[in-house]
Chains A and B, each alone.
Chain A
Amino acid sequence: MATLTLRGLRKSYGAVEAIKGIDLDVEDREFVVFVGPSGCGKSTLLRMIAGLEAITAGDLTIDGKRVNDVGPADRGLAMVFQSYALYPHMTVRQNMGFALRLARVPRAERDRKVEAAAAILQLGPYLDRTPKELSGGQRQRVAIGRSIVRNPKVFLFDEPLSNLDAALRGQMRIELARLHEELQATMIYVTHDQVEAMTMADKIVVLQAGRVEQVGTPLQLYHHPANLFVGGFIGSPRMNMLPGRIASSDAAGVTVELASGVRLKVPVEPGAAQPGDAVTLGIRPEALMARTDGELAGEVQLVERLGGLTLLHVGHGADLPLIVQTDGADASRARTPIRLAVDAAACHLFAANGITLPHLVTHRLVA
C-alpha cells in the first residue's frame, strides 16, 4: 500500500520559483509519469518527493503521513538515477545489498534478498562483477535491482532510459512495464520522451514551467488535451496548429474560418466563445488525408519515408508547413500540388487563452 498526495507543493531557489504549487494524487500501484520539456521542473519535483531537495512550501504525504521533514532514507522510497549512480568499487551484489548492509540486515537474509531481486532482473550471472564490466542495460537493471532489494513503498525513476540506445530503450520499456506488473508497486517516472510516457503510464502528469498543465491517462491527453500546450506536447509528429476565427456555432459544433478562407465544422462546445473570436485549430497529422476533393490546398515540400509510414510536409501560405501522416505506399513527391481532407471530428479548437473548447463526444477509448 502506498499512496502519495502533493498539496500546493512549491520550491524556490532564492527569488526563482521552480515549482509553483503542485497538487497531485498518486494512487496505490499506479504508474505515474511526469513529462514535460527541459527545465519544466519534473526532475526537481521528483527529487522533492525523494527528499533530496527541501520543500519550500506545501505538504507531501505518503500513506497519509506528512513527510516534508523526513529524510530521504526514512520515506520508504527508492530512486533510480539517470546516471544509474552505481558504486563503482562494489560488485553488483554489494551494490544491491548496500542499503541492507547499512541497515545491519544479517548476511544470509541480505544474500537471499539480493538473489531474489537478481532473479527478477536476470542478473544472476553478473552478481560478482563490478559495474564497469557490465553493459548499459545491465547497469540499468542493477540500479533497478538496488531499489527492489529495499522493498520500497514507491519507486522513483529519473529519466532512467535516456542513456541507452534506441533498441535497448524499447526493450527496457517493456521490462519496466513487466516489473510494474510483477512487483505491484507504486512508481513515479520522469521522462521527456513521450513514447515512454504514452506506453508505460497509468497516469501522465504534463508539467510546464513548474505548473501542472494536465493530469490524465495517455489517451485522455492525446484525444482530449486540456490546452494548447498539452495538445502540442503530446503526440509525435506534433499537432498542426492553424490560426482562425469562429464563424458561427450551434448545437452540432463550432464552425471555424481559417486564414485561407476555408471553413470547417468542429464538434466542440463553444462555451463562452463568440463568433469572431480568434481560435487555434489543432489537427493531428493522422487527421489529414490526401484526397483530390480535400478542403485544404497546398504543395508538398518534403517527403519523409519511414517505411511503414510516410510524413508529408505540406506548405500552404504563410503558416508553418502542415505535417500529414499517410501510409508507406503513398506516392507523393516533393514540389507537387496536393489537396488535403480534414477529419473535423478529430480536430481540436483552442480559445485565445489556450484553453481547449471541450469535445461534444468523448473518444471511445477514453473512459
Chain B
Amino acid sequence: MVPSVAVLLLWMIVPLVMTVWFSFQRYNLLDPSVGGFAGFDNYAYLVTDPDFWVSLRNTMVLLASVLVITVGLGTLLAVLFDQDFPGRGIARVLAISPFFVMPTVAALIWKNLMMHPIYGVFGAIAHGFGFEPIDWFAEYPMASVILIVSWEWLPFALLILLTAVQSLDHEQREAARMDSAGVVAQFFFITLPHLSRAISVVIMIETIFLLTVFAEIFVTTSGGPGNATTNLAFLIYARALLQFDVGGASAGGVVAILLANVVAFFLVRSIARRLEV
C-alpha cells in the first residue's frame, strides 16, 4: 500500500505546495526582474481588489442558482418520467442527452444558435411575436450563464433522481393512497423523503463541479460584461494568463482551495449523516 499512497500523496501535495509557495512570491511572467518573497502582499492585493469579492459572489450565485434549478426541475421531471406515457423511452433519452455534450460545445450552441439576438432561435421567436430580441449576454449575462450550466446539469440530476424514484416501493404509495393521501401529499410525504438521499448526492457532486465552472464563461462572456460573470475560476485564469501575475493567481488558487474545503466540509458532514443508514 505504501507505494500507491506515496504516489497519491505526491500527486496531491506537489501542486498544492507549489501553489502555496507561488502565492507568497513576487512572480510576474512579463517582468523577470521582480522576484523574491512577497509575504502576504499577494493576498492583501487580492482581498482589496473589488473584482475578487464580486467573483466570490458570482461563484456562489452561480452555484446556488444552478443547484436550485437542477434539483427542483430534476425532481419534478423524475416524477414525471416515472409515469407511464406513450414515447416515454424516447423522451427519457432526449432529456438525458444534453449531459453528453461537452461544456464548450454546449455554451457555443446556446450562444450562437439560441441566444444570439440576430441569428438565435430566441431572437427569431421574439421577432415572430413582434418583440425586440433580447441581447442575452449583454443584458442578462449571469442569468444566461446560469441557464446554460443548468441545461448541462439537469440531465445528471434527472438521471440520479429518476433511478431513485423508480426504487420507491409501489406498495408504499398504495398504502399512502389508502391513508387518503392525494397526489400532492404523496409527493411531499412519500416521494420527497425517499429522494432525500439521492438529492444529497446530486447536490454534493454538482457542487464540486459547479465551483469550477470555466469553459461556459470563457466561451460566452469571458467573464464580462465588466466582471458580471467572473467567477473565482475565471478570475484566477485572468490573473495568471491575461495579466501574467502568477503570484496573485496562486493566492486566488489558495482561496479557491479554502472555499472548496469549507463548502465540502459542511456538505460532507450533512450528507454523511444522511447516508449512514
Contact = CB atoms under 8 A, between A and B. Distances in A.
Contacts of B189: 87, 98
A102 B185 contact: yes
A52 B177 contact: yes
Contacts of A178: none
A78 B169 CA distance: 18
- Consensus secondary structure, chain B interface: helix
Interface in A78-104: 78-79, 81-83, 85-89, 98-99, 102-103
A85 B177 contact: no
Contacts of A98: 176, 179, 181, 189
B264 interface: no
Nearest to B181: A102
Q: How large is the interface on A (under 10, 10 to 19, 20 to 34, 35 or more residues)?
A: 20 to 34
Given A87-B189, A87-B190, A146 B179 contact: yes
Contact of B171 (A71, A81, A88, A150): A81
A85 B180 contact: no
Interface string A171-189: 0000000000000000000
A83 B171 contact: yes
A132 B157 CA distance: 28
A83 B169 contact: yes
Interface residues of B, number: 18
Contact of A89 (B177, B178, B194): B194
Contacts of B176: 87, 98
Contacts of B174: 52, 72, 79, 81, 85
Given A73-B178, A98-B189, A99-B179, A85 B194 contact: no
Nearest to A47: B174
Nearest to A77: B178
B194 A79 contact: no
Contacts of B172: 85-87
16 contacts: A51-B178, A72-B177, A73-B179, A74-B180, A79-B174, A83-B171, A85-B169, A85-B175, A87-B172, A87-B176, A87-B190, A89-B196, A98-B179, A99-B179, A99-B180, A102-B181
9 shortest interchain CB distances as A-B pairs: A73-B180, A99-B179, A85-B175, A85-B171, A89-B193, A81-B171, A85-B172, A83-B171, A79-B178
Interface of A: 50-52, 71-74, 77-79, 81-83, 85-89, 98-99, 102-103, 132, 146, 150
